[in-house]
A = this chain, B = another copy of it.
Amino acid sequence: MPPYTEQPGEQGVTIADRVFSRLRKAIVEGQIPAGSKISEPELATEYGISRGPLRDAMGRLEACHLVERRANVGARVVSLSQEDLLELYLLREALEGMAARLAAERMPATEIDSLRQLLKQHEQRADVKDGIAYFQKEGDLDFHYRIIQASGNARLIQFLCNELYHLMRMYRYQFGMASSRARIAFREHRHIVEAIADRDPEMAELIMRRHIRSSRVNVEMLFDAQASLTRRQGQNLGATG
Chain A residues in the interface with B (C-beta under 8 A): 12-14, 16-17, 52, 55-57, 59-60, 62-65, 71-72, 84, 87-88, 90-91, 94-95, 97-98, 153-156, 158-159
Contact = CB atoms under 8 A, between A and B. Distances in A.
Copies of this chain, count: 2
Nearest to A102: B90
Given A60-B60, A65-B158, A87 B153 contact: yes
Given A13-B71, A71-B13, A71-B14, A91 B155 contact: yes
B156 A159 contact: no
Given A87-B154, A154-B87, A156-B87, A59 B63 contact: yes
Which secondary structure dominates where chain A touches chain B? helix
A45 to B, nearest CB: 20
Nearest to A65: B158
A128 to B, nearest CB: 30
A14 B58 CA distance: 15
Given A16-B59, A55-B56, A91-B95, 17 more contacts: A13-B72, A14-B71, A17-B71, A56-B56, A59-B60, A59-B63, A60-B60, A60-B63, A63-B63, A65-B158, A84-B154, A87-B156, A90-B98, A91-B153, A94-B95, A94-B97, A159-B159
Given A12-B71, A13-B71, A71-B13, A155 B84 contact: yes
A84 B13 CA distance: 27
